[in-house]
């Protein structure tokens, strides 16, 4: 596995693979990897990418003042061992200076789909995400880039950006990977200790309550949202930020006639800010 610190070396690697006729897959990450990330590598391979690259970069521009940029968990050695074990061929690990050299003055702003949900609570977050992902895609030049569906709004923002800017890349979404008890895997789960770890399960339990009601035939979004909200409100360690039902494709609050909807939520549990979601579809049981 090769590692590259600078954009030129990373791009040269990708261009060589493309010249060999290989399909290049790319998995951007902020490191502190878990099985959710390794599943993205496997999905890239399943999509026919025989040369898969990853990046590790804790992007300062997507963190707001007072957020966890400084304490975001990092373990480069372990990350590299995990990526190598997955057969990743190249890893791009730039420093902040490589990504944002002095004089950097260009940002990517996706409007509609960035608004509301996490966008309302973390102003500037999706601008930071869109900017760094645009840069990473221009550097890594993949045919396919894979992102986890846990960050559902992020995936929608990246899809909109790639479409609107005519980027020559396929954006793929990958299903949420959960711990055995149902907690969605996240690098930020590292912040959860003892009672907080147990309490964090209320996000998933809230989504399951909505899923069960949906399976019983309830299609009124307020009812599904309320049952999830009640489940989280019952957990004293959790502080709900939002729970909303949205169109799975557009993230619009007006839902399609098909009855498909995604319930998205965010809550703070102890020192961690956690997000999760579930897409509900199909007939009543």
Which residues are tagged catalytic?
37
133 in contact with ligand PAF (CB under 6 A): yes
- Tokens encoding 124: 């500037």
Nearer to ligand PAF, 119 or 221 (CB): 119
129 in contact with ligand PAF (CB under 6 A): yes
Q: How far is the CB of 4 from ligand PAF (least distance, A)?
A: 16
Torsion angle of C-alpha atoms 127, 130, 134, 140, degrees rounded to 10: 130
132 in contact with ligand PAF (CB under 6 A): yes
| Cβ atoms 172, 146 nearer than 8 A | yes
List the one residue from 151, 235, 241, 276 that touches ligand PAF (CB under 6 A). 151
Q: How far is the CB of 151 from ligand PAF (least distance, A)?
A: 5
39 in contact with ligand PAF (CB under 6 A): no
| Cβ atoms 206, 231 nearer than 8 A | yes
Only segment of 11-19, 24-32, 84-92, 171-179 that touches ligand PAF (CB under 6 A) = 24-32
Helix, strand, coil content of the chain in percent (nearest 5): 40, 20, 40
Q: How far is the CB of 133 from ligand PAF (least distance, A)?
A: 5
Q: Which residues, including other chains, have CB under 8 Å from residue 259's CB and lie 6 or more apart?
A: 219, 280, 281
Only segment of 125-133, 173-181, 201-209, 224-232 that touches ligand PAF (CB under 6 A) = 125-133
Nearer to ligand PAF, 30 or 90 (CB): 30
Which bin fits 160, alpha (ψ -120 to 50), beta or left (φ > 0)?
Answer: alpha
Transcribe 224-262 into DSSP letters: HHHHHHHHHHT-TTEEEEEEEEE-TTT--SSPPTT--EE
99 in contact with ligand PAF (CB under 6 A): no
Nearer to ligand PAF, 143 or 150 (CB): 150
176 in contact with ligand PAF (CB under 6 A): no
Instruction: Give the closest residue to 31 by CA, choosing from 64, 67, 77, 65.
Output: 77
25 in contact with ligand PAF (CB under 6 A): no
- Tokens encoding 119: 């966008």
Q: How many chain residues are in contact with ligand PAF, going by CB under 6 A? A: 10
276 in contact with ligand PAF (CB under 6 A): no
59 in contact with ligand PAF (CB under 6 A): yes
36 in contact with ligand PAF (CB under 6 A): no
Transcribe 13-66 into DSSP letters: HHHHHHHTTPPEEEEEE-SS--HHHHHHHHHHHHTT-SEEEEEE---GGGS-TT
140 in contact with ligand PAF (CB under 6 A): no
Which bin fits 39, alpha (ψ -120 to 50), beta or left (φ > 0)?
Answer: alpha
Q: How far is the CB of 62 from ligand PAF (least distance, A)?
A: 6
Only segment of 10-18, 26-34, 100-108, 268-276 that touches ligand PAF (CB under 6 A) = 26-34
Instruction: Give the closest residue to 238 by CA, choosing from 277, 206, 278, 263.
Output: 206
**Residues in contact with ligand PAF by the rule CB under 6 A:** 28-30, 59, 62, 129, 132-133, 151, 154
């Amino acid at each position: 596995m090769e590692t590259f610190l600078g954009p030129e070396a990373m791009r040269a690697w990708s261009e060589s693979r493309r010249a060999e006729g290989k399909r290049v897959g790319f998995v951007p990450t902020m490191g502190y990897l878990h099985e959710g990330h390794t599943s993205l590598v496997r999905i890239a391979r399943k999509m026919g990418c025989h040369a898969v690259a990853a990046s590790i970069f804790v992007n300062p521009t997507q963190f707001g003042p007072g957020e966890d940029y400084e304490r975001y968990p990092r373990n480069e050695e372990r990350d590299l061992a995990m990526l190598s074990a997955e057969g990743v061929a190249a890893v791009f690990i730039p420093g902040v200076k490589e990504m944002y050299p002095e004089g950097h003055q260009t940002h990517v702003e996706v409007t509609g789909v960035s608004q509301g949900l996490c966008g309302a609570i973390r102003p500037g977050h999706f601008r930071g995400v869109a900017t760094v992902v645009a840069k990473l895609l221009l550097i890594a030049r993949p045919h396919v880039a894979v992102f986890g569906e846990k960050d559902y709004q992020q995936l929608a923002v990246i899809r909109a950006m790639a479409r609107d800017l005519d980027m020559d890349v396929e954006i793929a979404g990958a299903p949420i990977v959960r711990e055995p008890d149902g907690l969605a895997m996240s690098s930020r789960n590292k912040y959860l200790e003892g009672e907080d770890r147990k309490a964090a399960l209320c996000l998933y339990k809230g989504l399951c309550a909505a899923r069960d009601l949906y399976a019983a035939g309830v299609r009124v979004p307020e009812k599904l949202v309320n049952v999830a909200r009640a489940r989280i409100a019952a957990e004293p360690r959790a502080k709900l930020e939002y729970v909303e039902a949205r169109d799975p494709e557009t993230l619009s609050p007006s839902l399609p006639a098909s009855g498909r909807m995604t319930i998205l939520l965010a809550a703070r549990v102890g020192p961690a800010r956690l997000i999760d979601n579930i897409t509900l579809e199909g007939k009543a049981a």
